[in-house]
Amino acid sequence: MKSLLVVMALVLAGCATSELEVRTVRVEVPVPVPCKTKEIAVPSWAAAGLKKSDSLEVKVRALLAERRQRIGYERQLVAAVRECR
């Protein structure tokens, strides 16, 4: 019984003499940030105002113009997406 008390006293004495080490650790973690880009306005499409009675030439010209509009609009959208990467 005495030996157990001696061992416990030595263990407790060892804990009392050691000093605590305080240190600061910096942990870098990526934080998601919402992407902020300007809103891209949808153009008024050239073929939106076509009527059934319009000639074939007018319809084709309007569709070709709308194709160019869509290409430009898609480029703006792709640029906005790339800006958020």
Tell me the per-residue pLDDT of 18-55, one tens digit each, with 9 for 90 and over: 677 888 999 899 888 888 888 999 999 999 999 999 99
Whole-angstrom distance between the N-terminal and C-terminal Cα of the chain?
Answer: 70
Inside any domain, residue 25: no
Local confidence band at 6 (pLDDT 50, 70, 90 cut-offs): confident
Is 10 a domain residue?
no
% pLDDT > 90, the chain: 56
Average pLDDT, rounded, for the chain: 87
Q: How many domains does the chain have?
A: 1
Task: Of 1, 22, 67, 34, give the one whose Cα is nearest residue 9.
Answer: 1
User: Is residue 32 domain-resident?
Assistant: no
| Domain of 74, in residue numbers | 38-85
Q: Which residues of 23-48 are buried (b: 16+ CB within 10 A; e: fewer)?
A: eeeeeeeeeeeeeeeeeeeeeeebee
- Give the pLDDT score at 22: 86
Q: Is residue 56 part of a domain?
A: yes
pTM for the whole structure: 0.58
**17 located within any domain:** no
